[in-house]
Structure 1
Amino acid sequence: MHSRSKLLMLAAIAAGLIAAYICIGSYWDFNYIIPSRIRKIFAIILTGCAIAFSSLIFQTITNNRILTPNVLGLDSLYLMIQTAVVFAMGAKTLTMMQNHVNFVVSLVAMVLFSAVLFHLILRRGRQNMYFLLLIGMIFGTLFGSFTSFMQMLIDPNEFQVLQDKMFASFNNVNVHLLWVSFVLVVLCGLYYLRFAKFMDVMLLGRDQAVNLGVDYNRVVRHLLLIVVILVSVSTALVGPITFLGLLVVNVAYQFFDTYRHTILIPGAMLISVVFLTGGQLLVERVFQFSVPLSVIINFAGGIYFIYLLLKESRAW
């Protein structure tokens, strides 16, 4: 099947799942149910596209298909910020804090942390990408340790409030934050167009890209900025979904059997929307909200990650 036909098929599946999610059991209540579900679908599409887009760019930069932007420690930083608010000021503060304040604080903290990290590491030499990943993993572990320490000390009732922030949720997304996130994602997409022509070449590796005339260090810095903003927006909007990027990008590689980013990027976005919409349908219709969507995604993604590791080890 041709790649464009596969894209159309995925688009049809995504549209069918979206229509099913909006219509099933809605009783055409235009006062509450339909607007609420449309808001959730908007958040699902926005988050799915941002995570798929950023993960594919990140894997191209690192030339590694089992890495995702989560290795930079952004998810751990987000959880540490939420925990620190509860630890220092109590769960009431986190509950009463306006959504846009929490969103802005989390977004700015993650972007600033990444900017400082990039400035300190990526300015020095050609092998700094791997050093950046190592430092990101160390900081992620450090943030996770601080988070666990604070969670041990807070009151169990306050920890129950904090748990809502530990798992991605599309149930209480603020409409105003959706529009702000949409604008940021679109701006990142437009900025990416300046570097889209280099992506297929960069997949060959640093040396080959430089030999073919790509200003590798400059392109990598700009692409990493796009990745960080996209990941920060999706995490601050709905919460962390660890394995979604790994899952959808590798499925896109296998499904399309091509290395052209003009096909892989929209394909990964559509697969992400299909997974998230189908997962939300399972959460609401089968599990009756007893299991968070992020748990289902991380469970499937974790199994797939183990499969990829075993596959790579056999290749060696």
Structure 2
Amino acid sequence: MAELADTIRRTAPRQVPWRLVAIWSLAAILACAFLFTGLRGNISFVLNLRLTQLVGMVQVAVAVAVSTVVFQTITNNRILSPSIMGLDALYLFCQTALVFALGGFGYAALDPAWKFGGEVVMMMAASAALFVPMLRRGSEMLMMILTGVVLGLLFRSLSSLLSRLIDPNDFAVLQGASFANFQSLDPALLAAGGAVTVLGTLGAWRARHTLDVVALGREAAVGLGLDWNRTVTAHLLLVACLVASATALVGPLAFLGLLVVAVAERICGTRRHAVLFPAACGVGVVMLVGAQLIGRAGFGGAVVISVIVEFVGGLVFLALLFARRRQ
């Protein structure tokens, strides 16, 4: 609590706006580079395809950034993210179970809108059932981490078992659903996911001052008159909704949220949510669009964007762990 208060006091208010402007200016430059560099062939078709991909990347960046900021606040831990708590593993297990039960052709024939809606509802229900009771009881953070790790291992083990039992041709379909993919986004899903992301982001923004109080800790927040159980439950469901929307749209990105929030906090030097929300969203756009540009220009499009993001995010996660250990 004292560390948070000191950080807020040390932050120079006049420095924050230009840092946010710098982040979003870089994001705009990268977006223009992504849209207009290397245009060949049918320019109208290519621009339309790239614009769809760009909208998807912005949507995922905002959803992941906002959900991670809120999740770290309600858990009072800066090295946690919804993905590390096993939600991505649950998504992969559901995809594997669907391919195992329906086959590759049956899986491909599923209505994308119904599939998207089912995945969002399922992940919200799982989050409510698993983590809300622990947060309400004020369980120790170690217990939450262990629960998330164990559940992640369970879902990954079940996914691995089922993947060994399915037909090799169906396995190729499963592999395509196991990595984040921005190349073939469904415009209908973009609209549905965009609505979920906008509503969730607006809800988090309206609660930014409440989240500042939550960041003080359970005892301090309750002492200031906050209804802890109701607030934590509502925001955990909001996190699950945003994570489910982003994951169902493009696939799992385990370390993206941790990466963008850590970088945004380092740049802005504050945990105030009025600053951290736009900063983390801007850094997320920079990371995703920059990774896509690197993959297209440096590797000829042969490297999946998630590989670059996960590699850098994993390094940041290890750095945060070692930094906390030194403290």
Verify same fold: TM over 0.5.
yes
| TM-score, normalised via structure 2 length | 0.90
Tell me the equivalent position of 2:124: 111
| Whole-angstrom CA distance in 1 between matches of 2:133 and 2:70 | 21
Tell me the equivalent position of 1:84: 97
| Whole-angstrom CA distance in 1 between matches of 2:63 and 2:123 | 15
Tell me the equivalent position of 1:191: 203
Following TM superposition, by how much is the alpha carbon of 1:71 offset from its aligned partner in structure 2, in angstroms?
A: 3.4
Tell me the equivalent position of 1:31: 44
Contact 1:253–1:264 (CA<8 Å) still a contact in 2?
yes
Q: Residue type matched to 1:45 in 2?
A: V
Following TM superposition, by how much is the alpha carbon of 1:118 offset from its aligned partner in structure 2, in angstroms?
A: 4.6
Per-residue deviation, residues 144-166 of structure 1 (Å, max 9, x unmatched): 11101111222223212211111
Following TM superposition, by how much is the alpha carbon of 1:136 offset from its aligned partner in structure 2, in angstroms?
A: 3.4
Matched residue SS, 2:84: helix
Structure 1 residues 207 and 122: CA distance shift in structure 2, 3 A: closer
| Whole-angstrom CA distance in 1 between matches of 2:121 and 2:258 | 25
- Identity over aligned residues, as a percent? 40
Q: Which runs of 5+ in 2 are unaligned?
A: 1-13
| Whole-angstrom CA distance in 2 between matches of 1:312 and 1:136 | 20
Structure 1 residues 309 and 194: CA distance shift in structure 2, 3 A: same
Contact 2:70–2:204 (CA<8 Å) still a contact in 1?
no
Q: Which runs of 5+ in 1 are unaligned?
A: none
Tell me the equivalent position of 2:184: 172
Following TM superposition, by how much is the alpha carbon of 1:122 offset from its aligned partner in structure 2, in angstroms?
A: 4.8
Matched residue SS, 2:254: coil
Q: Residue type matched to 1:163 in 2?
A: Q
Tell me the equivalent position of 1:227: 239
CA RMSD across the alignment: 1.9
Moved over 6 A (4+): none
Matched residue SS, 2:95: helix
Q: Which moved more, 1:106-115 or 1:190-199?
A: 190-199
Contact 1:111–1:232 (CA<8 Å) still a contact in 2?
yes
Choose the corresponding residue for 1:12, options 7, 25, 28.
25
| Whole-angstrom CA distance in 2 between matches of 1:286 and 1:179 | 31
Structure 1 residues 66 and 277: CA distance shift in structure 2, 3 A: same
Contact 1:195–1:219 (CA<8 Å) still a contact in 2?
no
| Whole-angstrom CA distance in 1 between matches of 2:107 and 2:297 | 30
Structure 1 residues 28 and 226: CA distance shift in structure 2, 3 A: farther
Q: Which moved more, 1:127-136 or 1:236-245?
A: 127-136
Contact 1:51–1:234 (CA<8 Å) still a contact in 2?
yes
| Whole-angstrom CA distance in 2 between matches of 1:231 and 1:130 | 22
| TM-score, normalised via structure 1 length | 0.93
Contact 2:62–2:284 (CA<8 Å) still a contact in 1?
yes
Q: Which moved more, 1:237-246 or 1:154-163?
A: 154-163
Tell me the equivalent position of 2:262: 250
Following TM superposition, by how much is the alpha carbon of 1:186 offset from its aligned partner in structure 2, in angstroms?
A: 1.3
User: How many matched pairs?
Assistant: 314
Per-residue deviation, residues 64-109 of structure 1 (Å, max 9, x unmatched): 1110011332111111111112212211112232322322222222
Contact 2:84–2:254 (CA<8 Å) still a contact in 1?
no
Matched residue SS, 1:31: helix
| Whole-angstrom CA distance in 2 between matches of 1:311 and 1:129 | 18
